[in-house]
Amino acid sequence: MTDREHLYICEECGQRIYPGDKFQPAGECAFCPEHAATLADILDFWERDIADETDMACWSEWFGNIEDARAHVENLCARIANAGAEFKPLEEA
Ligand SMILES: [Zn+2]
């Protein structure tokens, strides 16, 4: 019996994500649709991160500067206005 090659593993539950499956990429990690973050979760994460003035903030690893990070937050707000806060942005593997 041969297993199809999976591309990612859900960080939360270990579910394997195969080519063509919907999933949510998050940097080095991936999440299955069930455990994917909603737009509201993502917005909340970045708003806190940008407001964090300690070394714990990680926006600088993702964005070139704080303006880009803030632009991303504005973009998320616009997406929430369109798709709703509970929308989960997913991609096809
Ligand atoms: Zn999962």
pLDDT one-digit tens code per residue, 2-31? 568 999 999 999 999 999 999 999 888 999
Q: How many domains does the chain have?
A: 1
pLDDT band at 43 (very low <50, low <70, confident <90, very high): very high
Rounded to the nearest whole angstrom, what is the distance from the C-alpha of residue 15 to the centroid of ligand 1?
A: 6
Rounded to the nearest whole angstrom, what is the distance from the C-alpha of residue 54 to the centroid of ligand 1?
A: 30
- Report the C-alpha gap between 14 and 29 in whole angstroms: 11
Comparing CA positions, the residue from 27, 39, 22, 30 lying closest to residue 75 is 39
Asked if residue 65 is part of any domain, the answer here is yes
Taking CA 57 as the corner, what is the angle to CA 52 and CA 61, rounded to the nearest 5 degrees?
145
Rounded to the nearest whole angstrom, what is the distance from the C-alpha of residue 11 to the centroid of ligand 1?
A: 7
Which residue range(s) make up the domain with 40? 8-92
Asked if residue 35 is part of any domain, the answer here is yes
Question: What one-character-per-residue DSSP string does 75-87 give?
Answer: HHHHHHHHH-TT-
- Report the C-alpha gap between 1 and 24 in whole angstroms: 29
Asked if residue 80 is part of any domain, the answer here is yes
Asked if residue 60 is part of any domain, the answer here is yes
What residues sit around ligand 1, an ion, with C-beta below 5 angstroms? 10, 12-13, 15, 32, 35
Record the pTM. Answer: 0.85
